[in-house]
Structure 1
Amino acid sequence: MAGELETRVLRKITWRIVPFIMLLYFVAFIDRVNVGFAALTMNKDIGLSASAYGFGAGIFFWGYFLFEVPSNLALDRFGARIWIARVMITWGLVSGAMAFVQGPTSFYVLRFLLGAAEAGFFPGIILYLSYWFPARQRAAVTALFMAAAPLSTVLGSPVSGALLEMDGLLGFKGWQWLFLIEALPAVLLGFVVLSYMTDRPEQARWLADEERDWLVRTMKEELAGKAATASHSVWKGLADIRVLALALVYFGTSAGLYTLGVWAPQIIKQFGLSSLAVGFLNAVPPTIAVVVMIMWARHSDRTAERTWHVVLACVVAAVGLWLAGLSTSVAAVLAALTLVNVGISSSKPPLWSMPTTFLSGSAAAAGIATINSIGNLGGFVGPAMIGWIKDQTGSFNGGLYFVAGLLVISAVLTLLLSRSQTAKAKQPATQS
């Protein structure tokens, strides 16, 4: 009977919560990386060099970095419903304003403001899932949520490529239509969040009394179970060495992810293809990555193993970037980019299952935001370095190898963190 109740409750909350937050992240990710497609024509129109574009595309993450922790603490205090709605409406308006950039300076300013507007969304959802789903189910649920990122590339790439073909309509450039049209869903969904999202299990009127009581009790028991070892205060969440270690691991995976979002269209375009063809081809690697990521996360949950699931995924992505630098044909570069997509996407669900095992409450809000804000600076460093190296050498290769190196460092740091945690766990037994 208890097992039947658990299954029923988890099915209900999964269907109620996960498809909706996937839709939100889908829209968020399109607005975050559609600059990669806009750049196919925008850069020439507003006079952006590869270095200036890489810097501007990446400066998004400085806005993200500066406002991430305060935003996530605000979510913990005011509730996900109000705060996620605020985030979405704000970033939609800023994303739409990208249609009116005039040159490098306005490009930098709006990309920074977009990062500031969106700060708190991703870690806020990770924190939100920890309110609703027991730890043993969290990697699989996180994988479903994060599948929205590669799915946004799968579906968004052809759409973005098609929008670029609207060049000249009503006097607007194709890239301007891209920003304006793709910003609208964020604003509209922000208002939907206000009526649809439920902050905590205690408020879930869409669950039967018996189901709601089981969920509230289960989550409280889990919280009590880690009370002795978990950090709870904001400052402990910020100061925990494991938080810094995971932030550095995430740094490499973010560099890889935004290398794909910001530069993959141009890497494919160099073989002389049209914007529409680039859109369809760019959708192939993430299609495969979605399937592999979900299977990988389920295996991680089933085996209760996180470390090697992160390490192996990072290594696969690094190998893919190295091969992308060696590729001399469209087929070869697509195969290499598929490996990068698979590795990057698969590394994240097990990685994001780690912090909520040793953080809770305000510490979780601060710690998760810290990991995301510091880690996402990789989204600045990766694209910016590729742009700079491209201007210096005329090739993407050196930048791709640089980002591959960051992913190898992420793999090594994950192993070191695991060994440190294992040694720490054995210490009391040794001393006694």
Structure 2
Amino acid sequence: MRPETPALRSAVRRVMVRLIPFLFLMYVIAFLDRVNIGFAKEEFQAHTGISNAAYALGAGLFFIGYALFEVPSNLIMTRVGARWWMCRIMVTWGVISAAMSLVNSEFVFYLMRFLLGVAEAGFFPGVILYITYWVPHAFRARWNALFYFGIPLASVLGAPLSGALLELDGVAGILGWQWMFAVEGLIACAVGVWALFYLDDTPAQAKWLTEEQRGALRSALAAEDEAKPGPHRLLSGLVNPRVLYFCLIYFLIQCSVYGMTFYLPTQVSEAVGSEVGLLVGLITAIPWTVALIANIAVNTAADRLAQPTKRFVAAGCAALGSVGIAASATFGNPVLAIAGLSVAAAGYIAVQPVFWTIPAAYLTGTAAAAGIGLINSLGNLGGFVAPVAKTWIESTLHSDTAGLYLLALCGFAAAALFLTLSHSQDPSRTPRNPSPTAGSQDRGSFHEN
């Protein structure tokens, strides 16, 4: 096992303090701007005349634009650098998100959601790739977990914010949902400009690290890249069978995540018998608060496990999330329904940081940029499929709960695929370097702290 030197540990701590809060802030804003349509659903539809089917289609069209441009976006980021590209992404999506306040027809709604996906494309896989530039594998599940705090915190903080902005209805002659889109979009623009001055592209440019810390990070990351068994060229990263396998797993996870997220405020509203507003926003924050705690606990524990064992952790989280969402559909009692949604949020959030350690331990070079982009691109199509499939099955079966059971089934299928990722398929098993000595040392850095 390659030892963790004091310089490496201090470098990782310094990087965590410097970068995680800012990346976290960016993701909170990204996720909020992506799903705030769920808070405005009823008021938005009432004023624009958009039907339930059109709403589901428009909510999902985001992911079509997102999927088409993710791989090109990641490849551009490797050329121009993270700080410039993250600035571009956040400013353009902020402008488009704010422009959602001008929607007045189904066509404009479809167009704006598609363009929002195009603008945001590359942000999430770009950050996952960016983390691989800074953090050795032994620390990465915890890092991913901290970054993934953005999803629940977007709801813990964003739900009350969105609810409060909706209650500005009529102030200055502006509707509540228009206030919500405009304010939250402009926040993204401001943080995007900040990113240009705050981020560094690589550890070599980080003046806030000592020379010893920079050297320790470069040595550790270079050794890991050499040991990764997967492809390192662009085309290989796009057509590799294991990468496509990862795409399918992530697709099923995202079906469950976004199917729940887009309709969570509505589910809470129905459970407590109140219109969507500040009260519902505060109650909606409960499941995400539970997810915050579960996320860091699960992924801190996962970093202590050998890489092949992490697939069992991921499978357990996906299955637990599905049990929770099925329970929320089964129990009519509001307390039990919120408890079920809390379990679902915990499982579906905690599984994702563990998942990303698997392809990150496999891919390197340009293949990492392309492969991570492809996994996130195809996986996030689940965000398009889930709302449409949920609406379709509920209409077909004339059941308000059938859609939730369908989402739970997707999570169970993802858990099964994690389990069928056999020991021989595990991406950390075969090093690129055939030397027994070097290979065993480098592989060890994936398996233990």
Q: Which TM-score band (shorter chain)?
A: over 0.9
Please name the residue that 2:83 is paired with: 81
Alpha-carbon RMSD: 1.9
SS of residue in 1 equivalent to 2:184: helix
SS of residue in 2 equivalent to 1:102: coil
Provide the rounded CA distance (Å) in 2 between the counterparts of 1:109 and 1:76: 29
Percent of pairs with identical residues: 41
Cα offset, 1:143, TM superposition: 0.4
Cα offset, 1:2, TM superposition: 6.8
Say whether the 8 Å CA contact 2:152–2:292 is kept in structure 1: yes
Provide the rounded CA distance (Å) in 1 between the counterparts of 2:118 and 2:291: 29
Please name the residue that 2:202 is paired with: 200
Provide the rounded CA distance (Å) in 2 between the counterparts of 1:121 and 1:41: 29
Output the amino acid matched with 2:117: G
Cα offset, 1:387, TM superposition: 2.5
Say whether the 8 Å CA contact 1:123–1:372 is kept in structure 2: yes
Are 2:353 and 1:349 aligned?
Answer: yes
Say whether the 8 Å CA contact 2:328–2:340 is kept in structure 1: yes
Provide the rounded CA distance (Å) in 2 between the counterparts of 1:104 and 1:422: 46
Please name the residue that 2:158 is paired with: 156
Say whether the 8 Å CA contact 2:299–2:350 is kept in structure 1: yes
Cα offset, 1:382, TM superposition: 1.0
Are 2:427 and 1:412 aligned?
Answer: no
Provide the rounded CA distance (Å) in 1 between the counterparts of 2:311 and 2:149: 20
Please name the residue that 2:211 is paired with: 209
Unaligned runs of 5+ in 1: none
Matches for 1:225-236 after TM superposition, within 5 Å? 225-226=227-228, 229-236=229-236
Matches for 1:17-32 after TM superposition, within 5 Å? 17-32=19-34
Cα offset, 1:14, TM superposition: 0.6
Q: TM-score, normalised by structure 1?
A: 0.95
Matches for 1:27-106 after TM superposition, within 5 Å? 27-106=29-108
Provide the rounded CA distance (Å) in 2 between the counterparts of 1:207 and 1:183: 33
Segment drifting more, 150-159 vs 273-282: 273-282
Output the amino acid matched with 1:33: V
SS of residue in 2 equivalent to 1:230: coil
Please name the residue that 2:445 is paired with: none
SS of residue in 1 equivalent to 2:219: helix
Output the amino acid matched with 1:416: T
Please name the residue that 2:249 is paired with: 249
1:361-408 superposed Cα distances (whole Å, 9 cap, x missing partner): 110000001100100011111112222334445543111111111111
Provide the rounded CA distance (Å) in 1 between the counterparts of 2:164 and 2:389: 29
Please name the residue that 1:269 is paired with: 269
Say whether the 8 Å CA contact 2:361–2:427 is kept in structure 1: no
Cα offset, 1:49, TM superposition: 2.1
Output the amino acid matched with 2:333: S
Provide the rounded CA distance (Å) in 2 between the counterparts of 1:45 and 1:332: 33
Provide the rounded CA distance (Å) in 2 between the counterparts of 1:81 and 1:319: 40
Are 2:421 and 1:421 aligned?
Answer: no
Segment drifting more, 378-387 vs 176-185: 378-387
Say whether the 8 Å CA contact 1:256–1:340 is kept in structure 2: no
Q: TM-score, normalised by structure 2?
A: 0.91
Pairing partner for 2:380 from 376, 383, 406: 376
Matches for 1:383-394 after TM superposition, within 5 Å? 383-392=387-396
Please name the residue that 1:239 is paired with: 239
Are 2:215 and 1:218 aligned?
Answer: no
Provide the rounded CA distance (Å) in 2 between the counterparts of 1:425 and 1:134: 17
Cα offset, 1:344, TM superposition: 0.4
Unaligned runs of 5+ in 2: 435-449
Provide the rounded CA distance (Å) in 2 between the counterparts of 1:420 and 1:94: 45
Say whether the 8 Å CA contact 2:101–2:182 is kept in structure 1: yes
Please name the residue that 1:178 is paired with: 180
SS of residue in 2 equivalent to 1:354: helix
Count of residues paired in the alignment? 426
Output the amino acid matched with 2:374: T
Cα offset, 1:313, TM superposition: 0.7
Gap change, CA 1:347 and 1:135, over 3 Å in 2: same
1:279-316 superposed Cα distances (whole Å, 9 cap, x missing partner): 01100001011111111011111113310111001101
